[in-house]
Amino acid sequence: MAMNYITSAKLSLLGIGLLILQLSASGSENRQTRANYARPFEPPTRPALLALPPGAVEPQGWLRDWCLAARDGYTGHMDDYHVEFKRAWATDHTMTGECLNWPKGAWPYEGGGYWFDGLARLGYILQDDSLIQQAGRRLDVVVNNMNTNSILFLWWLNRNNAEDVKGSLMGGAWPIWACGLLGRAMSGYYAASEDPRVLKTLETAYSGNRDQIRVGWAMSNTWPAFDTYTWTGNKKIAAVLTTLFSKEGGGMNPGGTSWSRYRRMPGKEPGAEENDHVVHFLETTTPWAVGYLWTGDDSFLKAALGWHDFFESIAMQPYGAPVADEWYHPTGAFRGTETCDVAAYLWSKVMLLTVTGNSMMADRMERLFFNAAPATVSRDFKTHVYFQSPNRIVSSSPVFDHGPRASGGNYKPFHHPLCCTAALNRILPWFVTHMWMATYDNGLAATCYGPCKIKALAADHVPVDIICKTDYPFNEDIEITVKPVKEATFPLLFRIPGWCRNPELKVNGTTVDAAKNDQGFVRLNRAWKAGDTVRLHFPMTAVVSTGVDQAKGAAKDHKHKPDKLSLPEENKTPGKPYATVSYGPLLFSLAIPETSDVNTPDQSARWQFALDVNNPNVTVTRGSMPAKWDWPLSAPLSLSVNARTIEWDPQPQDPSLPMTAITGSEPSERIKLIPYGCTKFRISMFPVTIK
């Protein structure tokens, strides 16, 4: 062991020597020619888009109001919600041995990773020094204590000590998984702060041990390890990634096949694949896209995308997040989505958007962010659900399969386990940070829409301010003002939402061709000068979609039981017909107003309706935006639709839609629908009528 340490210490010195050589030989000349936001050490296969550092995109308007609620609610105050957040990565909470298993004391390493990632990014996007300093104080504990013996970021453990290594593998290598979340927080913090001590911490963590990022749920470390390589060119990190993506890499995983199965495409034959825990699924399928960047072998990317498509076609809920209660299952009106998976799904789509440049990934980011995201938290951002479901009629219903079961659907300051309380902090800053991205030809791309301000470089290091003035998605118009410090020629790319059939685009008042390219963007390459404006008009249309709910009922017990999967067209389970109503990226719901608090529905509210799918006759009503945005029941946008009163008395323990469409010729009445995100109790997957 001692011998090993000396050898690796020498290698580490050699690594630093090589790094300096590389910087002087290729890095510096590279800097003149490389794109504004490209990293100094990138493999030849490049991602389609480049992330801007956290803080380049600043939320405005309704989006800023919501981010301020996050700051004043959970994100700035997690220590007040539960003592575990005081313990997260603190000097006086250094677990060893058995206590590195999550129920025995190591949980705060996951919670801290999630929270600090959200905290630092929210601080930078709001330019809030107090949040940035709070994130810095917490992350500095790791930065200041890191040493070459550390096991990833577990600085109090010694990777040359067999007992410590054994401890780090407790609970399916729980601490290694948690390290990946902290690595992601560190990576975001470094991208924003450019603090060399933070980069050194990342480099020390990921160059130290070649095997540990291949155990258990350790794939969470892949992206931050790759990030660290692209900033440092560290040869040992390169070796880790090369081993991971070599042919035998998956087989060398001491955790078995739980993640190497995702190196290949899913089998499409009915029952060929089993479902998975959704956090694990998202965190373990997505990183194979790094394999494509690292090796140039596109079978890695095809596998990642193939699994995401498979998952999408089986488990997607109309609010844009999958069924994840906590495993994935067929779409269902009373199935749940764990809040951790709202955050993890968004993260996975950011990554796949970055690698592929395909606007469909951004469509999915918006659908999730404008629907599922606001349902995770109360309007004051001080209570949250563990599970949300399309239909929520009464509190403590339904009984979800896992986690806190029935109480998981209620808004509470925290839930046990605490994962979602931590993970929810990531949702807003990850979306805002990636609303605009850079291109390798020194352009900028509008990937997701909403009110915001951008400060970024374009063309040959020309600083550009961009202001996006809009109430989108609550209206259809976006006014973008471009202000480069001097006239400069560069491309601006605008995503055309996949749902939009007739987009209109004007530059300085003149209509330009809004035909999108293969990736779903309109690219305007021209000389931009201060004050140029781009007006986007994305006409929305109401869409009534129908489907069948093939979800199974509530589980009798709390045991993880994998299910064999079939694509919906091959699923023989009898389905209950349902309909949903969307308008642009928004899902609409019949709100059941809450009374004294967000867990008490108005008993007198009528919600027993079936949607008249033959003649929905949807009409749109617009109001003005409120002075301060908090996802109100008095929404600025509402729809009216034909529906019929029905007999429907779902049992709270195991609710379901009616088995068949409702027949009869009673007249329809008009019911009002509002955005799903503005409701706390609601029907959004409706029973249907048949003539």
For the CB of residue 142, give the shortest distance to Zn ion in the complex, in Å.
23
For the CB of residue 119, give the shortest distance to Zn ion in the complex, in Å.
18
Task: Pick between residue 338 and residue 532 the one whose CB is nearest to Zn ion.
Answer: 338
Helix 129-145 × helix 107-126 angle, to 10°: 140
For the CB of residue 419, give the shortest distance to Zn ion in the complex, in Å.
3
Two structure tokens written together for 124 = 């930078």
The residue range among 220-228, 419-427, 483-491, 618-626 that interacts with Zn ion, by the rule CB under 5 A, is: 419-427
For the CB of residue 392, give the shortest distance to Zn ion in the complex, in Å.
18
Nearest to 639 by CA among 540, 537, 542: 542
H or E element, residue 28: helix 28-33
For the CB of residue 418, give the shortest distance to Zn ion in the complex, in Å.
8
Task: Pick between residue 372 and residue 480 the one whose CB is nearest to Zn ion.
Answer: 372
Our finding on whether 362 is near Zn ion (CB under 5 A) is no
For the CB of residue 360, give the shortest distance to Zn ion in the complex, in Å.
26
Task: Pick between residue 69 and residue 419 the one whose CB is nearest to Zn ion.
Answer: 419
The residue range among 93-101, 414-422, 487-495, 525-533 that interacts with Zn ion, by the rule CB under 5 A, is: 414-422
Residue where the block lists tokens 């469409």: 661
For the CB of residue 342, give the shortest distance to Zn ion in the complex, in Å.
9
The residue range among 33-41, 388-396, 411-419, 456-464 that interacts with Zn ion, by the rule CB under 5 A, is: 411-419
Task: Pick between residue 428 and residue 522 the one whose CB is nearest to Zn ion.
Answer: 428
Task: Pick between residue 356 and residue 421 the one whose CB is nearest to Zn ion.
Answer: 421
Give me the count of residues in the chain.
691
Please answer whether residues 611 and 581 qualify as being in contact, where contact means their C-beta atoms are separated by less than 8 angstroms.
yes
Task: Pick between residue 202 and residue 419 the one whose CB is nearest to Zn ion.
Answer: 419
Please answer whether residues 669 and 617 qualify as being in contact, where contact means their C-beta atoms are separated by less than 8 angstroms.
no
Contact pattern from residue 55 through residue 74 relative to Zn ion, giving x for each residue in contact according to CB under 5 A and a dash for the rest: --------------------
For the CB of residue 310, give the shortest distance to Zn ion in the complex, in Å.
23
CA distances from residue 490 to 21, 438, 463, 529, 531 in whole angstroms, order as listed: 33, 11, 12, 11, 15
Two structure tokens written together for 443 = 């352009």
For the CB of residue 218, give the shortest distance to Zn ion in the complex, in Å.
19
β-strands 488-495, 444-446 pairing: parallel
The residue range among 60-68, 412-420, 563-571, 604-612 that interacts with Zn ion, by the rule CB under 5 A, is: 412-420
Scanning residues 94 to 113, which ones bind Zn ion (CB under 5 A)?
Answer: none
Task: Pick between residue 240 and residue 420 the one whose CB is nearest to Zn ion.
Answer: 420
Q: Would you give the distance in Å from CA 441 to the centre of its chain? A: 27
Write out 392-459 in H/E/C secondary structure. ECCCCCCCCCCCCHHHHHCCECCCCCCHHHHHHHHHHHHHHHCCEEECCCCCEEECCCCCEEEEEEEC
Task: Pick between residue 340 and residue 435 the one whose CB is nearest to Zn ion.
Answer: 340
For the CB of residue 458, give the shortest distance to Zn ion in the complex, in Å.
39
CA distances from residue 521 to 497, 548, 628 in whole angstroms, order as listed: 9, 33, 32
What single-letter amino acid sits at 78? Answer: M
Give the chain's radius of gyration (CA, Å).
Answer: 25
Distance CA 185, CA 203 (A): 14
Two structure tokens written together for 318 = 């109309």
What single-letter amino acid sits at 458? Answer: A
C-alpha torsion sign, points 427, 342, 378, 626: positive
Task: Pick between residue 157 and residue 178 the one whose CB is nearest to Zn ion.
Answer: 178
The residue range among 22-30, 103-111, 194-202, 413-421 that interacts with Zn ion, by the rule CB under 5 A, is: 413-421
Residue count at the site for Zn ion (CB under 5 A)? 4
Task: Pick between residue 419 and residue 551 the one whose CB is nearest to Zn ion.
Answer: 419
Task: Pick between residue 227 and residue 338 the one whose CB is nearest to Zn ion.
Answer: 338
Our finding on whether 420 is near Zn ion (CB under 5 A) is yes
| Three-state secondary structure call for residue 618 | coil
Scanning residues 287 to 346, which ones bind Zn ion (CB under 5 A)?
Answer: 338, 340
Contact pattern from residue 366 through residue 405 relative to Zn ion, giving x for each residue in contact according to CB under 5 A and a dash for the rest: ----------------------------------------
Task: Pick between residue 338 and residue 594 the one whose CB is nearest to Zn ion.
Answer: 338
For the CB of residue 321, give the shortest distance to Zn ion in the complex, in Å.
12
For the CB of residue 428, give the shortest distance to Zn ion in the complex, in Å.
17
Distance CA 574, CA 656 (A): 13
Please answer whether residues 353 and 434 qualify as being in contact, where contact means their C-beta atoms are separated by less than 8 angstroms.
yes
Please answer whether residues 541 and 583 qualify as being in contact, where contact means their C-beta atoms are separated by less than 8 angstroms.
yes
Our finding on whether 419 is near Zn ion (CB under 5 A) is yes
Please answer whether residues 348 and 366 qualify as being in contact, where contact means their C-beta atoms are separated by less than 8 angstroms.
no
Q: Which residues bind Zn ion (CB under 5 A)?
A: 338, 340, 419-420
